[in-house]
Amino acid sequence: MDTHFNPPTKADLVSSSPFESINSTSTTPGPINQPPWWWLVFRQPLFGWGLVAVGVSALIFGGYDWYGARNGFAHNFALFVFHYSLATAYTILLLTNKMLRFSRTQPEQGRPARLSMMVLWLMSAYALNRDLPVFHESVPWLQGLLVLAGMALLGVAWLNGLSVRGQQVLLFVLTVVWCLFLYQTIYALPYYPYGFLGLVLLGVGGHIFIPFVLTIGVGSILWQSWRDHEHRQPAITAGLFVPLAIAFWFVHQWTQLDTRIRYTTNAIAARKDDELPVWILLAQQLPNNWITQRYLKTGSVYSQVDDWGNKVFEHQWELKRHDPLVMIATALRKPSKTWDVGGNKLIGMLYNFRHENEERLWSGTDLRTTNVLTQTRIYPEYRLAYTEKTLQVYNGNQYMQQEALYTFHLSPGSVVTSLSLWINGREEKGVLTTKAKADSAYRTIVGVEERDPSVVHWREGNRITVRVFPCMPGQTRQVKIGITSPLRLENESGDVPQLVYENPWFDGPDGRNATETVKLDFSQQPQHPVLSDYLKTGWFEKPLGKHLLRESTYQPRWEIRFDAPALATGGFRFNGHTYQLQPARQNLEAFDPRAIYLDLHQDWTKADIDAVLTMAEKRPVWVYTDELIQLTPGNRDDLIDQLLEQRFSVFPFYRIPDPGSALFVTKGAQTGPQLEDLAGSSYARALSQQRVNQPPVRTFCLSKPSDLVKTLSEFGIFQTDYGSIQELQSLLRQRQFAAPTVANQSTFLPQSGVRIVRRPDGGKTVLEASAAPDHLVRLYAYNHLLNQIGRHYFSPDFRQESLIAEARQAHIVSPLSSLLVLETLQDYDRFKIKKTSDGLGNATLKNTGAVPEPHEWALLLLLALWMGYSWQKRRYAGN
């Protein structure tokens, strides 16, 4: 084996390969000023220019992907023309210097330059792929392998100069790369007719044959190495074995998962109950791994065999990703479609993919969020904040208008209270209407007339969606939403409780490189503030006053916390009522549950279960599989093991025979359905058929609640306490639990530890009663609406006119109402949407004071007349 290295002689320098003599066994010392071995390859004609061309092309290609695309820069045909021209110019240069000839006697002569040329053509092909997508967007591991492929092709120039281990590593990588090019060659077969046709268009169609040429070229290098160097054979063998082994393992796991899904579907069909949709029951049993994720997302996120050969000129509404492993697996076994009816919901639930599953009327693939303005007014004494987010979205497509879709994630209890869209450079305010009217108007104008609207819809799980249309080619649209949020109270039982403000963040047009200005204003000086790192300005930052200004790139998640001051006593007067804050003291009442029901899934631990069973003492403990089953020493272990395999649980609480004497113990799962996912199911029908006067189910949550438990608690169906195992044990021992805090004229904000109380005007002066911001009314109305909707969520009488009127007066987005901006007044009239004259209107940072009522206007008028009379009297007295 060649393991001995010596400097080359003069004769070697003119040999066909710059490294042919490096592995020679000669011991003759070389020239004293001999250049280093790695430099000798540059004696190859035109190779240095090839490296320069590859570097420039890679810089342009990578610069667009990592900076230009994320900042909304348009990618157009000119980018491809640059890569194509560079590859063509270098090819012509090699051709004129007779470097494209292949010699059987001297195969390495000119090889470094030829491989540089092939790297240039590979980048040119992927640049063209942006406009004519033969391959969908590569998954991250494939992107890395393609970069490694380019490096390995260039590294062949130094192959003979490396140590034995270095040669083996390079040959291993090169063999893996050859497998990739072989796969691409096979994948591109259906596109070859297009390639032959495109050859007449300046040779552009020849790009489709690049993988085939690379397969031949790399294969010849591997064959020569196998034939001439025995020590390279193990590396080539390993390079062939590893990709095949990975592909075989992936296909095996894919097949096993597919079989498991079929058997699980059969088991679901044989269940005693049919209360939940099949896709939810299936999602409970699916393993949580990356193969399951790819299996479920195939067809919607990942390309499959059905996308092969017929998508080259089709516009992509949503980008798909190309994973060779998935393509191979689907070629052998397509995913089961037994769950396809709820497939998108299943994916959205398990992988936080709800935003991607929102219905779109137009594509949004080329949109980028380029600028964000966050303005927040924080009222510590009122335990709330108002935030305005102004977004600028840019359409990088130069030919097609697109639709911007944002999903905002809000802190618990938050509600959207304003919307603005800039039309022809002018800010147009949103109008509140019913959700049905807003949706109908938006669909008609966007889907048929293609003109300017924007709409905000309520979603479960502290989410709202914002739609903006049209985003014109190469232009920027601007939209603004206002959010009223309760501040979160922490360490309530400690010496110094703190308030926490959480920044609303969004999914939508990519904003990773957007610029952002954050402006915070406090109604009073915050005490002992603690800022997220994003808000800090440096080591020598000044103490935080009542204002903070931060300019940087967009950061989605941040918060600020500070000591909680005393509650303000002032209220807000509106529509004959005064709204004030009061501490929500948790009064205990006697409650001794006769039975305990456990909501078990994989987030529970056996230690938690054992603790609950111990504290239950003689009380029966029940769980649910496909029926309610009491835990006994005989079935306990088997049932717990079975239930702990579930990713989440949907407990049919309406099956509890005596809800007034039961205790439901739950723990928030990381995933799980929302109430809207259950629409049309037996679960939803059973919920809507419950008696209106049925008491809420006493619930204790051992962690952050799931979306379902949270919504049922907001609707007043659960009366939920939160705490640890130790706190639950203390309450059971004392036989006392928290009494209900929601009365007819108050709403409870559990995250803030306060109640908003509404009472008829009691003779307070205008000045005293108008000290608070109008957001008290908005938060009261939002929580009151949710509580009133309750178990009517799935009922025909869900949309009551009185509740809609309450939402309209408070100007809040809710399950009943949406905010809408249309282009003209005639559009509002056409859809019978009217602005409310007696409501609060859009919230604003500039004016959050009271709205004078009719009798107040009369007092103000009398005051003005009296002042005018007094002034005139003094004037005449002076004369």
State yes or no: pLDDT of 851 exceeds 50: no
| DSSP class per residue in 189-234 | GGGHHHHHHHTTTTTGGGGGGHHHHHHHHHHHHHHHHHHH-GGGHH
437 and 483, same structural domain? yes
- 813, amino acid identity: V
265 and 202, same structural domain? no
375 and 318, same structural domain? no
The mean pLDDT of 411-426, rounded to a whole number, is 93
In this predicted structure, what is the pLDDT of residue 639?
A: 93
429 and 304, same structural domain? no
Q: By the 8 A CB rule, do 379 and 572 touch?
A: no
The mean pLDDT of 273-297, rounded to a whole number, is 88
State yes or no: pLDDT of 439 exceeds 80: yes
Provide the terminal-to-terminal Cα distance of the chain, rounded to the nearest Å. Answer: 122
Q: Going by DSSP bridges, is the β-strand pair 817-822/453-459 parallel, antiparallel, or unpaired?
A: antiparallel
- Quick: pLDDT tens for 727-760: 899 889 888 887 775 556 788 888 888 889 988 8
- Beta-strand ranges (E) seen in 343-462 are 367-379, 384-395, 402-409, 415-423, 426-429, 431-434, 453-459
Q: By the 8 A CB rule, do 285 and 625 touch?
A: no
In this predicted structure, what is the pLDDT of residue 501?
A: 96
- Quick: pLDDT tens for 786-832: 888 876 777 666 667 888 888 999 999 999 999 999 988 888 888 88
The mean pLDDT of 408-434, rounded to a whole number, is 93
Residue 520: domain span: 367-567
252 and 135, same structural domain? no
**DSSP run (H or E) holding 552:** strand 547-553
In this predicted structure, what is the pLDDT of residue 798?
A: 63
215 and 102, same structural domain? yes
What is the DSSP code (8-state) at residue 448? I
State yes or no: pLDDT of 859 exceeds 60: no
In this predicted structure, what is the pLDDT of residue 856?
A: 43
In this predicted structure, what is the pLDDT of residue 231?
A: 93
In this predicted structure, what is the pLDDT of residue 299?
A: 82
Distance, in Å, from the CA atom of 421 to the CA atom of 423, rounded to the nearest integer, reads 6
Q: 853 falls in which pLDDT band (50, 70, 90)?
A: very low
**Higher local confidence (pLDDT), 873 or 772:** 772
Distance, in Å, from the CA atom of 480 to the CA atom of 416, rounded to the nearest integer, reads 11
In this predicted structure, what is the pLDDT of residue 304?
A: 85
Question: Of the candidates 279, 302, 329, which is a domain's last residue?
Answer: 329
Distance, in Å, from the CA atom of 60 to the CA atom of 75, rounded to the nearest integer, reads 12
288 and 227, same structural domain? no
Token pair recorded at residue 278: 């099949």
Q: Is 579 within the bounds of a domain?
A: no
Percent of the residues in the chain that have a pLDDT greater than 90, as a whole number: 41
State yes or no: pLDDT of 426 exceeds 80: yes
In this predicted structure, what is the pLDDT of residue 104?
A: 62
Q: CA 75, 80, 85, 86: dihedral to nearest 10 degrees?
A: 80
In this predicted structure, what is the pLDDT of residue 153?
A: 94
254 and 214, same structural domain? no
Q: Going by DSSP bridges, is the β-strand pair 746-749/431-434 parallel, antiparallel, or unpaired?
A: unpaired
Q: Is 557 within the bounds of a domain?
A: yes
In this predicted structure, what is the pLDDT of residue 202?
A: 65
- 681, amino acid identity: S
**Higher local confidence (pLDDT), 830 or 838:** 830
The mean pLDDT of 411-432, rounded to a whole number, is 93
In this predicted structure, what is the pLDDT of residue 4?
A: 39
Q: Is 335 within the bounds of a domain?
A: no
632 and 560, same structural domain? no
Question: Of the candidates 725, 740, 755, which is a domain's last residue?
Answer: 740
State yes or no: pLDDT of 69 exceeds 60: no
Nearest to 285 by CA among 626, 2, 18: 626
What's the domain count of the chain?
4
Q: Is 780 within the bounds of a domain?
A: no
**Higher local confidence (pLDDT), 84 or 878:** 84
Q: Is 867 within the bounds of a domain?
A: no
State yes or no: pLDDT of 589 exceeds 50: yes
Other beta carbons less than 10 A from residue 73's beta carbon = 16
State yes or no: pLDDT of 506 exceeds 90: yes
Q: By the 8 A CB rule, do 386 and 376 touch?
A: yes
What is the DSSP code (8-state) at residue 695? P
Q: Is 360 within the bounds of a domain?
A: no
In this predicted structure, what is the pLDDT of residue 8?
A: 41
Q: Is 110 within the bounds of a domain?
A: yes
The mean pLDDT of 574-578, rounded to a whole number, is 86
Distance, in Å, from the CA atom of 122 to the CA atom of 145, rounded to the nearest integer, reads 13
Other beta carbons less than 10 A from residue 562's beta carbon = 21
609 and 553, same structural domain? no
Task: Say which CATH number the domain at 510 has.
Answer: 2.60.40.290
State yes or no: pLDDT of 286 exceeds 70: yes
123 and 47, same structural domain? yes
In this predicted structure, what is the pLDDT of residue 349?
A: 85
Q: 423 falls in which pLDDT band (50, 70, 90)?
A: very high
The mean pLDDT of 473-502, rounded to a whole number, is 88
Task: Say which CATH number the domain at 675 has.
Answer: 3.40.50
Nearest to 437 by CA among 3, 834, 36: 834
In this predicted structure, what is the pLDDT of residue 481?
A: 96
**DSSP run (H or E) holding 359:** none
State yes or no: pLDDT of 240 exceeds 70: yes
Least reliable range by pLDDT among 140-154, 475-489, 703-717, 860-874: 860-874
Question: Of the candidates 234, 260, 287, which is a domain's last residue?
Answer: 234
**DSSP run (H or E) holding 807:** helix 801-810
429 and 280, same structural domain? no
Distance, in Å, from the CA atom of 868 to the CA atom of 811, rounded to the nearest integer, reads 37
Q: 242 falls in which pLDDT band (50, 70, 90)?
A: very high
Nearest to 586 by CA among 695, 727, 419, 748: 748
Q: Is 337 within the bounds of a domain?
A: no
Distance, in Å, from the CA atom of 544 to the CA atom of 537, rounded to the nearest integer, reads 11
In this predicted structure, what is the pLDDT of residue 32?
A: 53
Percent of the residues in the chain that have a pLDDT greater than 70, as a whole number: 84
SS (H, E, C) 35-92: CCHHHHHHHCCCHHHHHHHHHHHHHHHHHHHHHHHHHCCCCCHHHHHHHHHHHHHHHH
